[in-house]
Homo-oligomer: A and B are copies of this chain.
Amino acid sequence: MAQYSTTLDDAFQALADPTRRAVLSRLGTGPASISELAGPFDMALPSFMKHIRLLEKSGWIRTRKVGRVRTCTLDTASYAAVENWLLTQRDVWEGRTDRLETFAASIRIEEKEL
């Protein structure tokens, strides 16, 4: 449970930055090298690499170096964890809304019967 919680902390933290979200969006269309990924950003390479390392550490991407080129690939495991948390929340508050609607409907029926 603690590990699951830490994973979610890292997964959400990784998404709290526009550069990292843009990198993930780009990788959604297929693998890319670091230089391809860094291209659109007006950022020094060491700063960009911090984002890449954070995405790798938090499980959003995998990287692999062949020769002098490091290629990044999207890893959808973190996506699944994040989506699962969000869907669970929705189930809770939609369940509550459904219960409130059932309750309101039952009151309307009772009122009609009076």
Alpha-carbon separation in the docked complex, A75 to B103 (Å): 22
A29 CB–B CB distance under 8 Å? yes
Determine whether the beta carbon of A90 is less than 8 Å from that of B79.
yes
Contacting B at CB under 8 A, from A7-39, are 8-10, 12-13, 15-18, 21, 24-25, 28-30
Decide: A82 near B86, CB < 8 A? Known: A9-B18, A13-B13, A16-B12. yes
Q: Interface residue count for A (Cβ, 8 Å)?
A: 29
A: residues with CB less than 8 A from B are: 5, 8-10, 12-13, 15-18, 21, 24-25, 28-30, 74, 76, 79, 82-83, 85-86, 88-90, 92-93, 96
